[in-house]
Amino acid sequence: MKLSFRWYGEDDPVKIEYIRQIPAMHSIVTAVYDVPVGEVWSVESIERLKKITEDNGLHFDVIESVPVHEDIKLGLPSRDAYIENYKENIRRLGAAGVKVICYNFMPIFDWTRTQLDYELPDKSTALVYFKEQLEKMDPLTGELSLPGWDASYTKEGMKALFDQYKDVDEEKLFENLEYFLKAIIPVAEESGVKMAIHPDDPPYSIFGLPRIITGEKNLDRFLKLVDSEYNGLTFCTGSFGSANANDVLAMVDKYSKMGRIHFMHVRNVKLYPDDSFEESAHYSPCGSLDIVAILKALHKNGFDGYLRPDHGRMIWGETGRPGYGLHDRALGASYMTGIWETLTKLDK
């Protein structure tokens, strides 16, 4: 297991030198953030990120993410030009030593939460998703914005995009994903870069839009679209764990045994009966997921990919990007490092 940490570049309130101080830290997970979705990243931008990372004693081998343009998800005629750009990004990142690219295929919106500063009983704050709050939100007003969402859309642009998705159901979205994969995976193989799709977060439809990377049945279908080790998963325990229908532990065991998990996002959630959830501390008793059992399954199956502590609470007065403070993610990293060390020593 290679421990990694998400870093949003030089504008991130979390300094990269602080990340280096977390015991056992191996890799920085980052991306080029100043290029419009669908365009080619410059070699200079990639090399600058690589230099900053390596100057701080860390590895530059995981990118999260190279966003997929909406025209690809919609299956529009213009998708081929954007796919060619995507292929070139894979080549350039592979040449820079990147081993894994995380991406997602969620229509319009990335991960979605209804509140960013929900106060937990210990007075820390966390990201939450409450269905009753979502039902009161309207993404077409132009007033709704959450972390991870593309903020470049105008009110009119958002409405036009929703209109385009009226003709795209889950089956059509799968067809468009297959078209994309069949184009890029051969390039990934040639470049030595493993593609790792992130699950939909949460793993069910929101605002009437289709979502397909949601659970075991759809993952099985996804992996067969292009049956290559370079077509794999970013397995996010919190995303899959946000639906009562998913047996997260069984899924981790299954797909790590198959060698198709290239990147683990590990976080805990307190799950409600209606699939609403609170994000919690990584420590197993704080949420609905058994982090010890999840890591035990990975260890048993010889997982040697990348793992990062995912969203954390805001604790100890820290401010900044909700879910991406330093302190709680560092605690999560150390907690998981301790579990992994124990499992390794028990094997000897």
Which sequence positions are flagged as catalytic?
A: 198, 236, 265, 310-311, 324
Show the tokens assigned to 205. Answer: 């439809």
Determine contact, residues 125/119, Cβ cutoff 8 Å: yes
Say which DSSP state 120 is in. P
How many CB atoms are closer than 10 A to CB 341? 12
**In this structure, are residues 347 and 34 in contact, taking their beta carbons and an 8 Å threshold?**
no
The pair of structure tokens assigned to 215 is 């659970």
Block residue for tokens 């995981």: 62
Buried b (16+ CB within 10 A) or exposed e, 210-227: bbbbbbeebbeebbebbe
Structure tokens at 294: 């999840």
The SS3 assignment for 234 reads strand
Question: Which residues, listed in sequence order, are joined to residue 261 by a DSSP beta bridge?
Answer: 233
Structure tokens at 13: 């309130």
Among residues 290, 106, 109, the alpha carbon closest in space to that of 198 is found at 106
